Structures are given as C-alpha cells and as structure tokens.
Amino acid sequence: MLLTAWHAHKIDPTRLIPHRFKFDQIVAAHDAFGNADDSGALKITI
C-alpha cells in the first residue's frame, strides 16, 4: 500500500526521511540515533 501511494504521488517520501547522512558522517549518524530523544531519529540510513 505504501509503494502504491508513493507511485501515485499521494505521499512525499522526503518528509519521512528527516535525517540524511553520507558515509563520512557515520559518527554523526550514530550520535543522532543515540540521542533520539533530542534528534527525533527513529532509524538511520547511511
């Protein structure tokens, strides 16, 4: 259902990904996930 909604342009997936990290920012990504209460991170993707 999620993919169908995305393909139909009913949802904007960029709003679901508030944090973006490059490989050289792996420490910052780990810190964001470790401080989820402050950063709001639910999951990280590198």
9-37 pLDDT tens trace: 998 877 777 788 899 999 998 898 888 88
Residue 8's pLDDT band (cuts 50, 70, 90): very high
Task: Give the three-class secondary structure for 27.
Answer: helix
pLDDT of residue 1: 87
* Per-residue exposure over 6-17, b if at least 16 CB sit within 10 Å of its own CB, e if not: eeeeeeeeeeee
Q: Is the pLDDT assigned to residue 46 strictly greater than 80?
A: no
